[in-house]
Structure 1
Amino acid sequence: MRITKHAIKLAKQNSSFRYLFSTVAPTNYASMQDKFSADMLILKLVKKYEDYHRYIFFQDIINPILLDVKNHSSLVFTEGHDIESQLNLLEPHGTMARLPTAKKQ
């Protein structure tokens, strides 16, 4: 079992966490594959840990956000080292994924 799926399983069992966040370097493909296999989404790309770019991955453990990736026409690919292209792709919305907003009552 991959480490992220295991962490989600433990969090669900213990009811200890609602949200899971993780940082991953844009060129760390193995770690990104682990996050995507656990249905995590890229929230944004930021500079962290001094001057290194990192993706911020996110998933709501209680109400998971699932994407339909069968529609390949909506997928966009770029090289991991091409930070400028990735930032431009994320810029229109500020994030790749939109978090659900609380409804006002």
Structure 2
Amino acid sequence: MKRQLTLKNGQIVEIRPVGLEQLKEILSLQQKVFSTLSTKTFLQPLTEEEFAYILGGKGVMLGVYLRGELIAFRAMMEPDELDDEHLGLDAGLTKEEFSTVLYSEITNVHPDYRGNSLQRILGRMLLAEIDQEKYRYICTTVAPFNIASLKDKFNLGMHIVALKEKYGTKLRYILMKDLTARPVYRAASVFIHMGNTERQQELLEKGWVGVGMVMEEDEWKVEYRKF
């Protein structure tokens, strides 16, 4: 799973799997990215132990290297089925289905190399590698108004299935993609202001899902549809 890519500035990078031996580089890049964020609550950093869990066989991570330096990475993780905070619970899955769930985990891109669609490219490469005989659902969380991350998840075909507090008291969208489904919608779109938490939760509880977003009158609205 190796690939070369040309950045907008003409530099050539290599995309390849990341292993446990790159853990220090991963942590260093995560800290660099986190320190530049204007809204720190948008990112839930992973601990060294969580990265080791992924790299130790409970997930897969792809890295982007420029002249041997890690400039971006993206991971998918096989969650603990016994986790009380399992996203499958939020998505309405049964516990029997938890073994078929993967998390679309953290993505970090060095600030100097943003704007090259590295997050999207890594996401599509990871999706293409998923064993669909073993896994059916991809789940993740995104903070409201984290526009870049929401665009990425919608581009990968994920839907908002819940909106609630996670990681303590942090409000998060829970998004899911069913790898076997081809959505057929039964109702016209409804657009809700992204900041209107209560109205969005009402629709989600009635079986609607968030499928996209638009900017209207200088405000972001989430597009909801019903299967």
Q: 1:96 aligns with which of 173, 187, 209?
A: 209
- 2:147 aligns to what? 29
Q: Supply the AA of the counterpart residue of 1:77.
A: F
Q: What is the count of residue pairs matched by the alignment?
A: 91
- 2:158 aligns to what? 40
- 1:10 aligns to what? 129
1:65–1:57 Cα change, 3 Å: farther
Judging by fraction of residues, say which structure has more strand: 2
TM-score relative to the length of structure 1: 0.67
TM-score relative to the length of structure 2: 0.35
Q: Supply the AA of the counterpart residue of 2:199.
A: S
Alignment root-mean-square deviation, CA: 2.7
Q: Supply the AA of the counterpart residue of 1:37.
A: N
Q: Which has the higher contact order (CA 8 A, sep 6+)?
A: 1
- Do residues 66 (structure 1) and 66 (structure 2) align? no
Unaligned runs of 5+ in 1: 98-105
Verify the 8 A CA contact 2:161 2:204 in the aligned structure 1: no
Unaligned runs of 5+ in 2: 1-116, 211-227
Report deviation, 1:51: 0.8
The alignment-based identity, stated in percent, is 32
Separation in structure 2 between the aligned mates of residue 92 and residue 60 of structure 1, nearest angstrom: 19
Verify the 8 A CA contact 1:39 1:66 in the aligned structure 2: no
1:88–1:35 Cα change, 3 Å: same
1:84–1:35 Cα change, 3 Å: same
Separation in structure 2 between the aligned mates of residue 15 and residue 91 of structure 1, nearest angstrom: 30
